């Protein structure tokens, strides 16, 4: 671990190669980190990578939705902040959406990063401001450092010098094709809860991705069917199935293919979701999904 970390971070490697992108402000839009030891370890690991975490106080009281929104506004308004990173996921971040001031966010663009429950905010921020957000590891995911997770995150922070987001990964193809679109998606249950509201994702001309964790197959079936009935798959350009811990991805594909005609490429990538080795994806970026090359290139 030590040798790998030195190879990645070196002597101020991050500060040297990624200037003005190293100040992190952590937020608590969902649950709190339960164990202080994990919190401290994650901060230390980020600092080893060359980041500076501005707020290091261990939060023990979950803020209200209004307080969470204010916390996010303060982070965007803070001139010293480059990256706004969620401490962890869970649930309840969708309750913050009505309180967010998207004008503040748009006028003070920063890197906004997280996944899981944060999927609601990641997509809403892009759709209302045009700012690309990162479906990425959160603070708690850096408590142990893992090579793929860190390298993919650093690649994103550095504006994707490696344009192939699937570089070096094992990709399973369910339906072949080559298509371009806007990358959107995230946690299936979270995003399903937004259907029928002003916050639901516009899926037209998108390469859509989903992931989920520890849910029963009948619940996943219900969610996918709801997306089908809502017409959300009609104009997508591609579909990426991430990890659905506890359920095989072929089962997810069967749910979809048994109810609707699939005329777009579909692949499975096990490094998206609640997994140890996870990749960072830019929500709002234009990408090309090529199943023959098993690649996802950012344009």
Domains of the chain as residue ranges with CATH = 2-157 (3.40.50.10740), 171-298 (3.50.30.60)
SS3 call for 106: helix
Interhelix angle 147-157/2-9, rounded to 10 degrees, is 10
Gap between the Cα atoms of 135 and 139, Å rounded: 13
**Per-residue pLDDT tens for 59-70?**
888 899 999 999
pTM comes to 0.92
What values do phi and psi take at 84, rounded to 5?
A: -105, 115
Sign of CA dihedral 162, 152, 124, 173: positive
Whether 3 shows a pLDDT value over 70: the answer reads no
pLDDT value of residue 6: 35
pLDDT value of residue 261: 93
* Closest to 22 (Cα-Cα) out of 56, 54, 44, 45: 54
List all residues 6 or more positions away from 177 whose beta carbon is below 8 Å from its beta carbon. Answer: 238, 264, 265, 289, 291
Whether 269 shows a pLDDT value over 90: the answer reads yes
């Amino acid at each position: 671990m030590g040798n790998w970390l030195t190879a990645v971070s070196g002597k101020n490697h991050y500060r040297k190669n990624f200037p003005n992108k190293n100040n992190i402000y952590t937020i608590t839009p969902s649950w709190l980190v339960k164990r202080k030891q994990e919190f401290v370890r994650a901060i230390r690991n980020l600092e080893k990578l060359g980041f500076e975490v501005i707020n290091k106080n261990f939060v023990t009281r979950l803020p209200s939705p209004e307080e969470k929104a204010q916390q996010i506004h303060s982070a965007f308004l803070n001139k010293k902040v480059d990256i706004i990173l969620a401490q962890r996921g869970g649930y309840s971040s969708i309750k913050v959406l009505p309180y967010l001031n998207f004008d503040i966010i748009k006028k003070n663009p920063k890197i906004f990063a997280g996944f899981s429950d944060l999927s609601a905010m990641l997509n809403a921020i892009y759709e209302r401001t045009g700012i690309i957000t990162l479906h990425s590891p959160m603070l708690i995911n850096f408590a142990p450092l893992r090579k793929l997770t860190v390298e993919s995150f650093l690649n994103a922070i550095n504006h994707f010098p490696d344009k192939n987001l699937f570089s070096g990964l094992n990709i399973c193809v369910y339906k072949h094709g080559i298509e371009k679109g806007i990358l959107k998606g995230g946690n299936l249950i979270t995003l399903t809860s937004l259907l029928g509201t002003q916050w639901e994702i516009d899926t037209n001309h998108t390469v859509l991705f989903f992931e989920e964790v520890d849910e029963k197959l009948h619940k996943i079936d219900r969610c996918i069917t709801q997306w089908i009935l809502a017409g959300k798959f009609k104009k997508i350009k591609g579909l990426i199935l991430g990890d659905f811990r506890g359920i095989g991805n072929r089962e997810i594909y069967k749910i979809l293919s048994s109810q609707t005609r699939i005329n777009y490429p579909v692949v499975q990538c096990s490094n998206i979701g609640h997994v140890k080795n996870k990749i960072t994806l830019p929500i709002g970026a234009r990408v090309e999904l090529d199943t023959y090359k098993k690649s996802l290139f950012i344009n």
